[in-house]
Amino acid sequence: MRIIFIRHAEPDYEHNTLTEKGFREAESLCRRMEEWHVDAFYSSPLERALLTARPILKKLGKKVTVLNWMREFHYVVPDPITGEIGAPWDFYPEYWTNQEGFYDRENWFKEPVFRKNPGYKPAVFRLRKGMNKLMSSYGYQRTGGYYTFDATLPYESSEKTIVIFGHLGANLEAIGYLLGISPIILQQTFYIAPTSVSILNTEMRRGRAAMFRAQCVGDVTHLIRDGEPLSGYGAFSSLHQK
């Protein structure tokens, strides 16, 4: 199975839409996706994700299934150093690198800073439950830290490709769960630009055990090809543009 996570295009948060550049990015992404064989499209319910999906859905005449549990993982908390309210992954390095619990793939959400927002833990479990239900619909059952493919189904039916339009935080939350890595570490150390593509493939092993492995995270080949500068929304550094 292949899951392709796409971050929404450059957003206009104030007006709940995309910027002019964001709409150009979505069209560039559409041109990249035209030749893909996709079995199903999914999206966050938020408008910036749905607008990013619109060009390719129109081009292919496809519909999208909304996944409420893939809405942005923006459960704000007070920063332990400054006290300012912000996203639960934009911590300063002198703080987060010294929190051993952040590295715990199963229990990071039990750390005191995350408990300061009562909506955070339920969102973690909604995403886990939603992802497992989605995987189950394709014949994969969660078994500890990996999945097993239904032995009653033909092997060929395991080779499905789905696309999920989401967000920086939520996509890395899901990717962390599938790879067995604390999503906090990914959110603190990975930047995935607007309309970037992250591809996870299942590797079928002995006894139909299936482990996800990342083929790429945050790929922006389509933007570079079209001469569209990368957007720095969510980044704290200048971006390599070539």
Domain contains 211: yes
Each residue's pLDDT tens digit, 105-115: 999 999 999 99
Domain contains 233: no
Domain contains 191: yes
Domain contains 240: no
Each residue's pLDDT tens digit, 10-23: 999 999 999 999 99
Q: Which helix (H) or strand (E) element contains residue 147? A: strand 146-149
For position 64, which CATH number holds? 3.40.50.1240
Q: Is 18:26 a contact under the CB 8 Å cutoff?
A: yes
Each residue's pLDDT tens digit, 145-168: 999 999 899 888 889 999 999 999
Rg (CA), the chain: 18
Domain holding 171, by residue range, is 2-225
| Pick from 71, 85, 180, 181: nearest CA to 130 | 71
pLDDT > 70 fraction of the chain, expressed in percent and rounded: 100
Domain contains 230: no
On the question of pLDDT at 242 being above 90, the answer is no
Number of domains the chain is built from = 1
Could you tell me whether strands 64-66 and 40-43 are parallel, antiparallel, or unpaired per DSSP bridges? parallel
What local confidence, expressed as pLDDT, does residue 122 receive?
A: 96
Domain contains 118: yes
Domain contains 236: no
Domain contains 155: yes
